[in-house]
Amino acid sequence: MKQVLAIYYSQTGQGKQALDAVLKPFSNNTDFKITYLNIKPKNPFPYPWSYMQFFDAFPETVNGIPCELEPFQIDTTMSYDLVFIAYQPWFLSVCVPINSFLQSNEAKILLKNKPVITVINCRNMWLGAQEKMKQQLINLQANLVGNITFVDHASNLTSLVTVLAYVLKGTKEKFLGIFPKYGITQVDIDKAPEYGKIILDNFTTSQLQLIQPQLIEKGAVSIRGNLLLMEGRGRALFPLYAKFILKKGEQGSKQRRMRVRIFGIVLPTAILLLSPIITILSRLIPVLAKRRFKQEIAYYAQNNLR
Ligand SMILES: Cc1cc2nc3c(=O)[nH]c(=O)nc-3n(C[C@H](O)[C@H](O)[C@H](O)COP(=O)(O)O)c2cc1C
């Protein structure tokens, strides 16, 4: 029997739902045993978040500063054949709980030389987080063989409103009667077992190198060209502002509240104001720099780090 390890963190269960849907062909197959590892911070992150708590998590998330975790509820000395990691991007980085796990001694043992599939659930910006994930997996000598993304399909400005309602107010249905429900759709969940089947078939025949190309072909990787530019700006600027806040103190400290508050106003405002400009630029770039643009999309769809 082949052993599958499914590591996950999810505040509202969306990420776990996506992971379960991908794993369906494995759970229906008696040749596989799935062991779940739910990553739990010692001090759980709140849901819904208060405005301050949400933006105060920014510096540690961007700088990859780990939090303390509850002891892992599995046998960490066991050897697994295939590992799934389901996570969310937070501020264009790997969310703190999963990033903390990746920095643990247990991760070094569990992931070394193992094929890994990442399952991302997010609003629409996951490229930067996955670049950090790729680096962490290289550090752990793990072998990233597949990546599946679940995104919100609304326009960038619409999902900016609905994700904030989702995380800050806990709104799980239509917001204000006009904004669509935030998050993964049932259609995407229903399609996910097809991705799982690709993984299972290629794992069984030891053709791991075929997993990602086939996942891409099936539509498992969602990259919005028009957000490449916006995410790129964020990834360049976030570390600078994170450092600026960290200079004033640790998470929760009073001294840094003012800088956090400013960030909480500047970030949504910048997205709102820059969105139209970036949208126009993003329409021009694929025309003016067609080859480069295609190369960028192709790069982020695969699992190597440049
Ligand atoms: C602190 C925080 C930061 C987030 N930053 C991003 C982000 O950079 N990109 C993105 O697409 N989604 C972002 N999201 C949305 C999450 O990726 C995800 O969709 C949402 O938290 C629901 O996931 P869960 O309930 O499975 O934890 C963020 C959410 C939180 C709580």
The model's pLDDT over 263-284, given as tens digits with 9 standing for 90+, comes to 999 998 988 888 788 778 878 8
How close is the Cα of 240 to the center of ligand 1, in Å?
21
Domain 2-228+297-301 annotated CATH 3.40.50.360: yes
Ligand 1 pocket check for 156: Cβ under 6 Å = no
Ligand 1 pocket check for 91: Cβ under 6 Å = yes
Cα 9–15–19 angle (5° rounding)? 100
In 3D space, the residue among 229, 232, 212, 186 whose CA is nearest the CA of residue 298 turns out to be 212
Is residue 202 predicted with pLDDT exceeding 90?
yes
Indicate the top mutation candidate among 123, 155, 271 to test ligand 1's pocket, ranked by most ligand atoms within 8 A of CB. Answer: 123
| pLDDT at site 166 | 98
Single-letter amino acid, residue 77: T
How close is the Cα of 105 to the center of ligand 1, in Å?
26
Ligand 1 atom with the shortest distance to the CA of 129? 8
Mean pLDDT of 70-84: 95
Residues 203/94/108/240 CA torsion (nearest 10 deg): 140
Mean pLDDT of 112-119: 98
Ligand 1 atom with the shortest distance to the CA of 16? 26
C-alpha distances in Å from residue 113, one per residue of 81, 84, 121, 158: 10, 14, 25, 41
Can you give the pTM of this predicted structure? 0.97
Question: Which run of H or of E encompasses 134?
Answer: helix 127-139
Token output for 36 = 């779940």
Is residue 101 predicted with pLDDT exceeding 80?
yes
Say what percent of the chain tops pLDDT 70: 100
Ligand 1 pocket check for 149: Cβ under 6 Å = no
How far apart CA 123 and CA 184 sit, in angstroms, is: 9
Is residue 10 predicted with pLDDT exceeding 90?
yes
Is residue 137 predicted with pLDDT exceeding 90?
yes
| pLDDT at site 182 | 98
| pLDDT at site 201 | 98
Mean pLDDT of 88-107: 98
Ligand 1 atom with the shortest distance to the CA of 125? 11
Ligand 1 pocket check for 92: Cβ under 6 Å = yes
Say what percent of the chain tops pLDDT 90: 87
| pLDDT at site 229 | 84
Mean pLDDT of 122-143: 98
| Atom 17, ligand 1: residue with shortest CA distance | 122
